[in-house]
Amino acid sequence: MSILVTGGAGYIGSHTCIELLNAGHEIVVLDNFLNSKPESLKRISEITGKNFKFYDVDLLDYSAIESVFLENGIVAVIHFAGLKAVGESVSMPLRYYNNNIVGTLNLCRVMEKYGVYNLVFSSSATVYGFQEQVPLSEDLPLQATNPYGRTKLMIEEILQDLYASNQNWSIALLRYFNPVGAHCSGQIGEDPNGIPNNLVPYITQVAVGTLPELKVFGGDYQTHDGTGVRDYIHVVDLAEGHLKALVNVMGNSGIKAYNLGTGIGYSVLDMIRAFEQVIGRPIPYRIVNRRPGDVSISFADASKANEELNWNANKGLDEMCRDSWRWQVNYPNGFEKEYEKISAVNQL
C-alpha cells in the first residue's frame, strides 16, 4: 500500500515526502529531474532515516508510468510534477501545455486503468487571476493570466470532468499561496535555476552576496506601504496540508478545492524587514516599476481547509525567514552545483 509522489524530488514534493515518511507512509517517488537534483532524494532518506523506491520516469512516457503501477501497490497519488515558471511559460507555451497537461492526462489514464482513484493535485492561487476582493475563497470565479496558470486551470477542469464521468474518483485540488521556507534541518530547500523569479530566494541570494540588490516591483499599490501583498506559507505547513488532504480523499469520493495559505498578507517591505531581523543586517533594495501581470494583494480565506481537512498553518513569518536563511547559508549554491562546477573543470 504505497503513495505515489510525482515530482517528489522538487521543492514542495521533497518536504512532503519527509512528512509522509515520518507519519509512517510507504512512498514511491517518480521524477525526471527536469527541475530538481537526485541529491534531494538522498537528503530525504538521511533526514528521515527511511528508504523508499524511486523511479526516474517522465510523465510524458505512458508505459513507464504503467510499470510503476504494475510493480507497486499504489493506493493514492500526490501529483506535484509540472513546470512552474510563469515567464518561461509565456515564451514556451507548448512546452508547458505538453508537460503539465499531457503528463497529467497520462497519469490519470494509468490511474483509471489500475483502479487508483485517490488524487491530491498541486494547483495554485494563480487560478484566481485578478480579483476585486480579498481574502480569496474557493468559490470565486476562476481565470488565468498566463500559460502556466492556464495549465493549472485546465487540469482542474479536466479533473472535474473525470469525476463527473466516474464517481469513484476522489480528488483534492490544493491551491497553494506563496510557499517559502525550508526544512528545519537546513538540508533541503528551494533550489531555483539561475536568477530567482520569486521574492524569498531573491532576498536570501542578495543577503548571502550572490546578487547585489533586490528590485522591489512597484511602490504605488493600494496597500499599507505601497508594495505588493502576498500570503507566504511555510513549506512544511504546506506539506502537512497534503497529509490531511490525503486522509480526506482516501475516506471519501468527490472533487474539492482547498486554499492552502495562512490568511495573512505581508508586503514586500514587510518581508525585507523580517529577513533583516533574522539576518542582522540591512538588505539592499530599490523600488522599481511594477512587474507586468502582478496583482496588488493576494491572501487566502483558508477556513475551508481548516473546517474540512482539519488543517491550519502554524509557522509564522519569523520561522519562514529563519528556515529559508539556514538553507541558503548552508548551501549557497543549492543542491550539487559545486559538484557540477568541479566536474566541468575536470573535463577541461
- Give min distance, CB of 233 to ligand NAD, in A: 9
Residue listed under C-alpha cell 552545483: 337
Which residue from 11, 163, 169, 202 is in contact with ligand UD1, where contact means CB under 6 A? 202
C-alpha cell of residue 176: 497553494
**Distance (Å, whole) CA 174 – CA 159:** 12
Residue 178 burial (C-beta neighbours within 10 Å; 0-12, 13-18, 19+): buried
Nearer Cβ to ligand UD1 (73/87): 87
Cis peptide before 201 (omega within 30 of 0): no
Of 4, 5, 11, 159, the one binding ligand NAD (CB under 6 A) is: 11
Binding partner selected for residue 293 from ligand UD1, ligand NAD, none, CB under the kind-specific 5 to 8 Å limit? ligand UD1
- Give the separation between CA 185 and CA 323, rounded to whole angstroms: 8
Identity of residue 277 = Q
> According to the 3-state scheme, what is the secondary structure of 219-245?
CCCCCCCCCCEECEEEHHHHHHHHHHH
- Minimum distance from residue 124 beta carbon to ligand NAD (Å): 3
- Note if 148 is an active site residue: yes
Q: Which of 26, 34, 184, 218 binds ligand NAD (CB under 6 A)?
A: 34
Element (H, E) at 15: helix 11-22
Catalytic residue among 55, 148, 163, 232: 148
Q: Which amino acid is at 78?
A: I
> What's the min distance (Å) between Cβ of 85 and ligand UD1?
8
As a whole number of Å, the end-to-end CA separation of the chain is 48
Considering only 199, 264, 272, 305, the residue that binds ligand UD1 (CB under 6 A) is 199
Q: Which does 7 bind (CB under 5 to 8 A by kind): ligand UD1, ligand NAD, none?
A: ligand NAD
Peptide bond into 135 cis (omega under 30): yes
The number of helix segments (H) and strand segments (E) in the chain equals: 13, 13
Q: Minimum distance between the CB of residue 33 and ligand NAD, rounded to whole angstroms?
A: 5
Asked if 216 interacts with ligand UD1 (CB under 6 A), we say: yes
Residue 120 to residue 16: CA distance in whole angstroms = 12
Instruction: Name which of residues 113 to 152 contact ligand NAD (CB under 6 A).
Output: 122, 124
The Cα–Cα gap between 21 and 80 comes to 17
Least gap, CB of 5 to ligand UD1 (angstroms): 19
- Residues 48-77, one symbol each (x = binds ligand NAD by CB under 6 A, - = not), give ----------xxx-----------------
Q: What are phi and psi of 161, to 5 degrees?
A: -65, -40
Q: Does residue number 173 form part of the binding site for ligand NAD (CB under 6 A)?
A: no
Residue 17: count of CB within 10 angstroms of its CB: 31
Whichever of 114 and 217 has its CB closer to ligand UD1, that residue is: 217
Single out the segment in contact with ligand UD1 by CB under 6 A; choices: 91-99, 107-115, 192-200, 308-316: 192-200
Among 136, 142, 268, 309, binds ligand UD1 (CB under 6 A): 268
Residues near ligand NAD (CB under 6 A), total: 26
The item of ligand UD1, ligand NAD, none sharing an interface with residue 268, based on CB under 5 to 8 Å by kind, is: ligand UD1
| Residue 29, C-alpha cell as written in the block | 517517488
- Residues of this chain that bind ligand UD1 (CB under 6 A): 86, 124, 126, 149, 178, 197-199, 202, 214-217, 228, 230, 268, 291, 293-294
| Catalytic residue ranges | 148
